[in-house]
A and B are shown apart, each in its own frame.
Chain A
Amino acid sequence: ILNVEQSPQSLHVQEGDSTNFTCSFPSSNFYALHWYRWETAKSPEALFVMTLNGDEKKKGRISATLNTKEGYSYLYIKGSQPEDSATYLCAFRYNNNDMRFGAGTRLTVKP
């Protein structure tokens, strides 16, 4: 079983705080790394698809980096807002095959 680890498991921050999460994955047979946001009562939605070592992606206040050699990716949220409250999932693709998810980081942003 491929292990995809996410930390922390949960995070509570105040509105306006910046925060970051970690996703660790096997560094061999890397194909792609995905980040998803999963809001309560909705379906997970993709944030980023990252494929190259050193990739940096940005969407508004959210950005992500990728290090395939050491097997980790960081997701950053700048100036957190209550609407950022969600579970953030990373998913690892290896050898162009299936996707394996981490357990997620549950973010709560307090007004």
Chain B
Amino acid sequence: DGGITQSPKYLFRKEGQNVTLSCEQNLNHDAMYWYRQDPGQGLRLIYYSQIVNDFQKGDIAEGYSVSREKKESFPLTVTSAQKNPTAFYLCASSTSTGQGWTEAFFGQGTRLTVV
């Protein structure tokens, strides 16, 4: 089945440690996105990538890093510089047609807790 897979579903991290969240898609989509959700708030854009080896910062990129070495994969690293990393993280992808970018397809999310 085609889709987006995020792993792990739950992640616990000690303060001061970097951690990498995985996002893989087999939809052959060009664009991939990372969003963060905090309780009572909407989805905020961290990073996005529209082609391999290129990515752009979103509104809250500080303390995060990404790579896009393969079309299928867009891992997000939460670094120790991120002051408040406990949150729910969603990965999404979309593709471009002759009429523009399509709707986004989402993974199941990763809930990160700093302990």
Chain A interface residues (CB < 8 Å from chain B): 1, 6, 31-32, 34, 36, 42-46, 49, 51, 89, 91, 93, 96-104
Contact = CB atoms under 8 A, between A and B. Distances in A.
B1 interface: no
Interface stretch (B10-18, B71-79, B105-113): B105-113
B43 A101 contact: yes
B64 interface: no
B58 A98 contact: yes
A43 B105 CA distance: 8
Residue of A31, A102, A103 ringed by the most chain B CB atoms within 10 A: A103
A32 B102 CA distance: 9
B45 A43 contact: no
Interface residues of B, number: 27
Nearest to A98: B48
B104 A34 contact: yes
Given A89-B42, A103-B41, A103-B42, A32 B104 contact: no
Nearest to A51: B100
A97 B59 CA distance: 13
Nearest to A103: B42
A6 B58 CA distance: 20
Given A1-B59, A98-B48, A102-B42, A46 B103 contact: yes
Contacts of B102: 49
Contact of B42 (A43, A46, A101): A101
Rank and list the top 6 A-B pairs by shortest CB-CB distance, nearest first.
A103-B42, A46-B103, A43-B106, A101-B43, A98-B48, A44-B106
Interface in B88-115: 90, 92, 94, 99-109
A49 B104 CA distance: 10
